[in-house]
Structure formats: structure tokens, C-alpha cells
Amino acid sequence: MTDEPAGATERIELADWRRRVGDLYAEVRAESARDPEAAWRHWREVREELFRTHTQSPVPARQRASFRARHWPYDPALRFEVAVEADGGADWEDGADRGPDAAAAFASGFGLVEPVLGGYTLTFPVSTGGEQGFERIGWLDVPFPAGPRRLGLYWMAGYAGGLFLPFRDATSGHETYGAGRYLLDAAKSADLGPGTAPGSLVLDFNFAFQPSCAFDPRWSCPLAPPENRLDLRVEAGERLA
């Protein structure tokens, strides 16, 4: 989202953008059940076309005509079905076991607010300043080829709610946006659907994408929290370089 005031025309255009992206993810969920790589190619093509042509593209208008998306090749080893583990109440406000930069990240704006039914309410800083509230609803133990890693799963307090799964990895600040990428984001209709087992989600990192603020700083994007900072390279999904 952008912090700039919007008129009726811009809001109608934004509604159309969200509608089209929502339609795209509905198509992706249906197609990926048969052929995940074909669904990914479709996602790439439609998303790139929207970024080049739509009035609500996060790419600055003067750069849209020449915009070309960049991605790593599809890697089937980075598609998972992962059970959601209920939040046990652990937090990271002291930076414990979250890497050497976790405490500094907490001090720079991330915060644990209070426990709520089913999880913890957290605040994440956003790229344009201020903060946004989320509820941590559980954990995802992702079986990466390099070894399992745990990610927090969140529910947005704003908008109409919805799942949110941001992450940083060792490509952040190099090939990808320094503040991280998103995999699930209900505000952008980015939802890959449930897994075959009850209580599970599809996590296909080939669909990881940059937040809008990676293309233009006028957009406001929540930053990935310290508990979702991976100590490995996720060479899948969208890249900037």
C-alpha cells in the first residue's frame, strides 16, 4: 500500500489490481495441483504483464514499459506442504536463539505486544515509518534441503485480516530486496492454498516475491521479523539482480 492520499479513480484502479491478482492466484492454485511448474510460469507471465501495464503497478510509471521480471529457475525441491504448529508462546524480544542481529532488530522497531487467544500480537515496522500489527498464529517447520528451519506464520490485524508470511534469507540485500520477500500475503491475494493434510499449507518458495517498496519507496511494506530470518540462501522466486 502507499501512504499517499488517493481519489476515487485511483481507488477503483487499485480495486481492479487486487481483483486481477486475486484471479491470478485462484488460477495458480487450480493449476498447481496438476503441474506446479506450469502454474509458476503462468504466475510469472501474468504478474510481469500487470507490472508493465497496470496503473497500480508498484513499478514507477517511467520504468514500466521496459520492465522485465527476474526469477531463479523453478526448483521442485523448494515446494512443501507444511503443517501449522500452534504458537507455544515463545517470543524473540531478547533476541534469544534467533541469530546475532535479532536483538538489534527488536530494538529497531519489532515488538511483542500481548498474548491473545491462539497466538501473540506483534508489531512490525513498515518501510515508510510507523508500525503495523499482526498476530502470530503458529509456526512452520520447513524441510529445506539444507536442513529444517522454522518460520513464524502471522495474521494481519489490518485490512480484513488474512495470512502473512514474510522472510529474509542470505540473498536479501544482494539478489533480493534487503528487508525480505513475501510468500503469503492476503492483502495481495497471495495464497497458495492448503496442503492435502488437515491444518497444512502449501509453501512453494518459487512464488516468493518482492514487496512493492522494493520497486518504489513510496509504497509502505511491513518488514520481515527477526524470527523469520533464514541463515541459508533461498535461490527461488523473484529476484532483483
* pLDDT tens digits, 213-231: 999 988 888 889 999 999 9
Residue range 53-107, pLDDT digits in tens: 999 999 999 999 999 999 999 999 999 999 999 886 554 443 333 333 433 343 3
- 3-class DSSP string for the chain: CECCCCCHHHHHHHHHHHHHHHHHHHHHHHHHCCCHHHHHHHHHHHHHHHHHHCCCCCCCHHHCCCCCCEECCCCHHHEEEEEEEECCCCCCCCCCCCCCCHHHHHHCCCEEEEEECCEEEEEEEECCCCEEEEEEEEEEEEEECCEEEEEEEEEECCECECEEEEEECCCECCCECCCCEEEEEHHHCECCCECCCCCEEEEEHHHCECCHHHCCCCECCECCCHHHECCCCCCCCEECC
Please state, for a pLDDT cut of 70, what percent of the chain lies above it.
Answer: 82
> 90: alpha, beta or left, given left = phi > 0 and alpha = psi -120 to 50?
beta
Q: Collapse the DSSP code of 11 into the 3-class scheme (helix H, G, I; strand E, B; otherwise coil) and give the result.
A: helix
Q: What is the pLDDT of residues 116-138, one digit of tens each?
A: 445 567 777 776 667 778 899 99
Closest CA relative to residue 167, chosen from 179, 159, 158 = 179
Contact in structure between 161 and 213 (CB atoms under 8 Å) = no
pLDDT at position 102 is 37
C-alpha cell at 156: 494481519
- Predicted TM-score (pTM) of this structure: 0.85
* Orientation of helix 36-53 relative to helix 8-32, angle to 10°: 170
